[in-house]
Amino acid sequence: MDTTTHTIDAKGRKLGRVASEVAHLLMEKDMPAFEKHRKLGSKVKVTNAGGLDMNQKRMSEVRYVRASGYQGNIVRENISDVLKKHGVEEVVRRAVKGMIPSNKLRPDMLKRLEVTE
């Protein structure tokens, strides 16, 4: 099994464009031997993630929602809140996670994603 490593430079690019390209590569749709039920092990490195082009309107409008399971414990966060707490790596990871199908292969795909600022 040959593993390939793709490197994407995110400087000056939009978050959604980078995330969709990363998701496409993690799902290995660029491979001639693509099968949606099996993964070959391609890795993706996103460099210069700190230089992503994110405007202020988008940073206040996009909201991440999560719940603890208890009543009344729904937590809503903006991209700016996530940037302050976890950094740009988590924002890119969440964007890519939303573009990958939610099946048993998703955690393995996200493990092969490496984001550097």
Domains and CATH numbers, the chain: 5-55+87-115 (3.90.1180.10)
Single-letter residue type at 71? Q
Residue 24 has pLDDT above 70, yes or no: yes
Kindly state the percentage of the chain with pLDDT values over 70: 98
Kindly state the percentage of the chain with pLDDT values over 90: 79
Residues 44, 28: Cα–Cα separation, whole Å: 10
Confidence category of residue 1, pLDDT binned at 50, 70, 90: low
pLDDT digits (tens, 9 = 90+) for 30-84: 888 888 888 878 999 999 999 999 999 989 999 999 898 899 899 999 999 999 9
Say which residue, 36 or 95, is predicted with more confidence: 95
Mean pLDDT of the chain: 93
| Contacts with 47 (C-beta within 8 Å, 6 or more apart), sequence order | 7, 8, 9, 10, 116
Structure tokens at 11: 């400087």
